[in-house]
Amino acid sequence: MINKIIKHIFQSDNYTLEKLDKGITNHNYLLQVNNMKYVVRIPYGDSTHDFNRQHEAIILKDVRDLDVPTIYFDTNTGIKITEYIDHLYEYAQCPYEDKIERCARLIKKLHEKPAPPFEFNPLKTLMNYKSKVKDPLFDLAPYEYILEEVKHLKHKQVLCHNDIVSGNILFGEHRDYLIDYEYAASNDALFDVMSFISENQITDSTLRERFYQVYFDEFDDTIRHTLSLWEAFHNILWCYWAMMLYESRKESIYKDIANDKYNALKKMKLEF
Contact 132, 45 (CB under 8 A): no
Would the pLDDT of 193 be above 80?
Answer: yes
- From 3.90.420.10, 3.20.20.80, 3.40.50.300, 3.90.1200.10, which CATH number describes the 89-267 domain? 3.90.1200.10
pLDDT tens readout for residues 241-267: 999 999 999 999 999 999 999 999 999
Considering the segment(s) 2-83 as one domain, its CATH architecture is 2-Layer Sandwich (3.30)
Q: What confidence score (pLDDT) does residue 156 get?
A: 83
Lowest mean pLDDT among 20-24, 92-96, 241-245: 20-24
Lowest mean pLDDT among 20-29, 96-105, 184-193, 223-232: 20-29
Domain boundaries, the chain: 2-83, 89-267
- pTM of the shown model: 0.91
Lowest mean pLDDT among 33-37, 155-159, 200-204: 155-159
Would the pLDDT of 188 be above 60?
Answer: yes
pLDDT tens readout for residues 131-161: 999 999 999 999 999 999 999 998 889 999 9
